[in-house]
Amino acid sequence: MNKRFGLHVLAIIIGVFLINGLLMYFPISTQSKDLPERVYEIYRVDPIEARYGGDIKVVKISYDGDINTHFCRSYSPVTALIDLGYSVSNRNKITSTSPIFSLHTNSHILVETYRTTIDEILLEIPFETIIKGNVLCQKLAQESTEQNGVLGVMTQKIKRVYKGDTLIAEEIVEEEIQREARPQIIVITGPEDLPTSVPQRGYNCGYWNAYVDSIGATEEEKQWLKSVMKCESGCNAESNKSFYKGLFQWDPCLWYKQYPNDNIFNGEIQIQRTLEKLRNGANPNQMWPACHRRYKSAYGELSWL
C-alpha cells in the first residue's frame, strides 16, 4: 500500500515538472505577435482573438518545399506561421487542413511563395534581303551588294511569375523599337532577255515553217525542225512557261553558256542554232527526247543516226 502511494506521488511530481517545462516554452500569458494590418485584412484574422493563447497544438508546415513540425498555441494557420517566425505577405498562398479561422492540432499548412519580376531585354531585329534583277540562269548570275543589311534593335519588358524558384508564367507587357532594321539589297546580273524583246507572233506554225523552208537545210532536216518545234513549243518563239525557253525549249544555262550574245527568244536565231547543234553531233534522243520519239514514230530515225 505504501509502495503504491509512493508511485502516485512520484507520478504527480513528474507531471508537474512536465507541465512547468511546457509552460516555459508555451507560457499561457504569452501574447501572439501583432500581425501587419494588411495580413489581418488578407487572411481575415481577428486581431483580438489572435492575441490570446490556447491549447498546445502540433502543426506540420511546408514552406516552399521545406517541411518542419512545430508546437504552438496559435489561433489560426496564419497566426501559427507568424508566431513560429515564418514570413507571411500577399506573395504567399496559404493552404491548410484547418479552417482559416481556427487551428486544429495535427494540422498541415502549405505555404507557396509567388513573386513577379519585370525584366527588360534587348533583342536584335533581323533584316530582310531584297533581290534586284532577274536572270534566266542562276548558274551564270553575278551578284553585287548595293546596300549592306543592318540589324534592328528592340527592347522588351517581360513580366515573369515564379512559384518558389520555378517560372510558371510570362508575358510581354511592353516593347519598343530602338532602331529599325535596314534591308540588304543584292543586285543580280546575267542573262536576262525577255519574251517581250522580240516581235510577238505567238503560236504561229505557218510563219515559222515558212522560215524553216527558207534556210539552207535538207528536206529531212527541215522536216525534223518543223516537227520538233511544234511538239516542244507549239511554234511559239516567246514560250516562257517553264525553265526551258523558246521554239525548241532550250535550257537557258546551256544556251547562254554557248551563245552568250544571242537572245534565246529570237526564233530565227534559235532555229539556226538548233540546226547547227544537230549538224555538230548533238544527240536529239538526249536533248529533245520526248519530241524526237514522236518524230521517229511518224518518220523514222534520222538517216545519220
Tell me the pLDDT tens digit for each residue of 107-133: 999 999 999 999 999 999 999 999 999
Residues 50 and 76 sit within 8 Å (Cβ to Cβ)? yes
Determine which helix (DSSP H) or strand (DSSP E) holds 60, and give its type and residue range. Answer: strand 57-63
Q: Where does the chain hold its CATH 1.10.530 domain(s)?
A: 197-299
Grid coordinates representing 4 are 503504491
**How would residue 42 be classed by pLDDT, with cut points 50, 70 and 90?**
low
Distances (CA, A) of 236 to 41, 132, 186, 201, 229: 88, 28, 33, 7, 8
pLDDT higher than 80, residue 13: no
pLDDT, residue 9, reads 45
Per-residue pLDDT tens digits for 243-268: 999 999 999 999 999 999 999 999 99
What local confidence, expressed as pLDDT, does residue 208 receive? 98
Residue 51 is classified by DSSP as G
Whether residue 95 has pLDDT greater than 60: yes
Q: Can you name the residues that pair with 108 across neighbouring β-strands?
A: 60
305 vs 229, residue with greater confidence: 229
**Is the entire prediction scored with pTM above 0.85?**
no
Question: What's residue 107's pLDDT?
Answer: 94
Between CA 113 and CA 86 the distance in angstroms is: 12
**Over 80: is that where the pLDDT of 168 sits?**
yes
Q: How far is the C-alpha of 93 from the C-alpha of 112, rounded, in Å? A: 5
Measured distance CA(246)–CA(249) in Å, rounded: 5
Identity at 168, one-letter amino acid code? I
Residue 70, pLDDT > 70, answer yes
Mean local confidence (pLDDT), 17-43 = 45
pLDDT of residue 165: 86
Sheet holding 142-147, edge to edge: 129-132, 184-189, 142-147
pLDDT digits (tens, 9 = 90+) for 275-288: 999 999 999 999 99
Query: Could you tell me the pLDDT band of residue 39, with boundaries at 50, 70 and 90?
Result: low
pLDDT at 111: 94
Distance CA 137, CA 71 (A): 86
If one looks up domain 197-299 in CATH, what number appears? 1.10.530
State what percent of residues in the chain have pLDDT above 90: 75
Contacts of residue 20, defined as CB under 8 A and 6 or more positions apart, other chains included, come to none
Amino acid letter, residue 242: S
Confidence (pLDDT) at 90: 87
Query: Does 23 have pLDDT greater than 50?
Result: no
Confidence band for 25, pLDDT divided at 50, 70 and 90 = very low
Question: Which residue, among 94, 92, 74, 93, has the nearest Cα to 84 in the 3D structure?
Answer: 74
The whole-number pLDDT of residue 54 equals 65
Q: Is pLDDT at 41 greater than 80 in this prediction?
A: no
Q: What is the pLDDT of residue 162?
A: 94
Interhelix angle for 219-233 vs 289-299, to 10°? 130
Q: Of 207 and 12, which is predicted with more confidence?
A: 207
Residues 36-45 have a mean pLDDT of 54
At residue 305, the pLDDT reads: 86
**pLDDT for res 204:** 97
Burial of residue 162, with CB atoms counted within 10 A of its CB: 0-12 exposed, 13-18 middle, 19 or more buried = middle
Beta strand 107-125 pairing with 57-63: parallel
Mean residue pLDDT of the chain comes to 87
- Calculate mean pLDDT across residues 179-195: 95
**pLDDT, tens digit, for every residue of 211-235?**
999 999 999 999 999 999 999 999 9
Contact 73, 103 (CB under 8 A): no
